[in-house]
Amino acid sequence: MGYAMAERLAKGGCDLSVWNRTREKALPLEKSGARVVNRLEELSTKDILFVMVSTYDDVKQVLAKALSGKGKPKMVVECSSISLEGSAELRAYLKEKKIQYLAAPVSGNAKVIKAGKLTFVVSGPKSAYEQAKPYLDMMGMGSSYVGEGELARIAKICHNVMLGVVIQNLCEIAVLAEKAGMPRHAFLDFLNKSVMGSTFTKYKTPALVNLDFHVTFTPKLLLKDLDLGLDAGRRFGVPMPLASATRNLVQEMIGHGMTEEDFSTLLLMQARASGIALKPENKTVSDGLAES
């Protein structure tokens, strides 16, 4: 994710320095105009510091190192998927250092970024957002400002709850169509052309048709986000029966040992529960994405 985001900024002509744990993985970015630094502390002199890592522990680790340099950035834009509590803690930590902070989680993955369709949901000071917006927009289709504080984290949790519910429903209806006698590719072609089709249904069609489950998001990560969504539902008094049912199905999937595969392998569990064995249809189908 971070590589693809940095590549778009570099190709957009930004004065960009990048750091990655494995430096060799970042080196190809130099062809696009980025400068790959050897030490995190070298990023401290930049105006805006973007962070895209795996966990909140990673966020804390890289920021502590990055902010120990000679200068300090004017702003940190944190794009990883972290909890409300972690984001609030990070905001307080940066406030003490007089550094502006934007929570800016994303919707998409590396392939979505390459297609120019990444989106950000952002919260924090509006003035900081206006400064960062041109760079956020450069990385994809644009950004949505949702308010102060950690509201962007709530928005991302809601987004990923919908992700879980939609993929489960998509698997259910694809199996229903097949058991009734339709090829999956034919049914999904109809669905994607209808008003119910979406970027997501198109993007997942090749996996559901050809059972080529390239990992984009694991069941374990989806379960974490569904739990965060249900926790938020309890906190704000919002019943979430569909999210709860989906959460139990994902937990069952994990119980069957399907932990590190793509979350769309829910299709296989749905087929098994329906008494059928799926086979790849070996059809060339579009994922709706094209690099831009």
| Residues 47 and 179 grouped into a single domain | no
Query: What is the distance between the alpha carbons of residues 122 and 133, in angstroms, rounded to a whole number?
Result: 9
Query: What is the distance between the alpha carbons of residues 16 and 6, in angstroms, rounded to a whole number?
Result: 8
Threshold 0.95, pTM exceeds: no
Q: Report if residue 129 sits inside a domain.
A: yes
Domain count, the chain: 2
pLDDT tens figures, 37-84: 999 999 999 999 999 998 899 999 999 999 998 889 999 999 998 888
pLDDT reported for residue 292: 52
- Has residue 189 got a pLDDT over 90? yes
Q: Report if residue 282 sits inside a domain.
A: no
**Contact between 106 and 112 (Cβ < 8 Å):** no
Nearest to 151 by CA among 236, 94, 67, 74: 236
Among 133, 149, 165, identify where a domain stops.
149
Q: Report if residue 288 sits inside a domain.
A: no
pLDDT tens figures, 103-112: 999 998 888 9
| Residues 13 and 121 grouped into a single domain | yes
What does the DSSP assignment read for 10-33? Answer: HHTT---EE--SSHHHHGGGGGGT
pLDDT reported for residue 27: 96
pLDDT tens figures, 135-182: 999 999 999 999 999 999 999 999 999 999 999 999 999 999 999 999
- Has residue 19 got a pLDDT over 80? yes
| Residues 65 and 158 grouped into a single domain | no
| Residues 234 and 163 grouped into a single domain | yes
Report, as an integer, the average pLDDT of 86-107: 96
List of residues 6+ apart from 57 with CB closer than 8 A: none
**CATH classification at residue 14:** 3.40.50.720
| Residues 163 and 47 grouped into a single domain | no
The continuous run of DSSP H or E covering 76 comes out as strand 75-78
- Within 13 Å of residue 237, how many CA atoms lie on the same side as its CB? 0
| Residues 163 and 138 grouped into a single domain | no
| Residues 114 and 158 grouped into a single domain | no
Among 149, 177, 193, identify where a domain stops.
149
pLDDT reported for residue 114: 86
Q: Report if residue 20 sits inside a domain.
A: yes
pLDDT reported for residue 54: 84
Among 149, 181, 205, identify where a domain stops.
149
List of residues 6+ apart from 253 with CB closer than 8 A: 219, 265, 266, 269
| Residues 112 and 15 grouped into a single domain | yes
- Has residue 291 got a pLDDT over 70? no
User: SS3 letters for 81-149?
Assistant: CCCHHHHHHHHHHHHHCCCEEEECCEECCHHHHHCCCCEEEEECCHHHHHHHHHHHHHCCCEEEEEECC
What tokens does 7 get? 């590549």
| Residues 58 and 133 grouped into a single domain | yes
pLDDT tens figures, 203-251: 999 999 999 998 989 999 899 999 999 999 999 999 999 999 999 999 9
**CATH classification at residue 204:** 1.10.1040.10
What's the domain range around 12? 2-149
Q: Report if residue 178 sits inside a domain.
A: yes
| Residues 171 and 87 grouped into a single domain | no
- Within 13 Å of residue 283, how many CA atoms lie on the same side as its CB? 17
- Has residue 282 got a pLDDT over 90? yes
Q: Report if residue 227 sits inside a domain.
A: yes
Query: What is the distance between the alpha carbons of residues 283 and 211, in angstroms, rounded to a whole number?
Result: 11
pLDDT reported for residue 245: 98
Q: Report if residue 286 sits inside a domain.
A: no
- Within 13 Å of residue 193, how many CA atoms lie on the same side as its CB? 7
Q: Report if residue 281 sits inside a domain.
A: no
- Has residue 25 got a pLDDT over 60? yes
Count Cβ atoms within 10 A of the Cβ of residue 242 and give its class: 0-12 exposed, 13-18 middle, 19 or more buried.
middle
**Contact between 81 and 156 (Cβ < 8 Å):** yes
| Residues 71 and 139 grouped into a single domain | yes
| Residues 141 and 166 grouped into a single domain | no
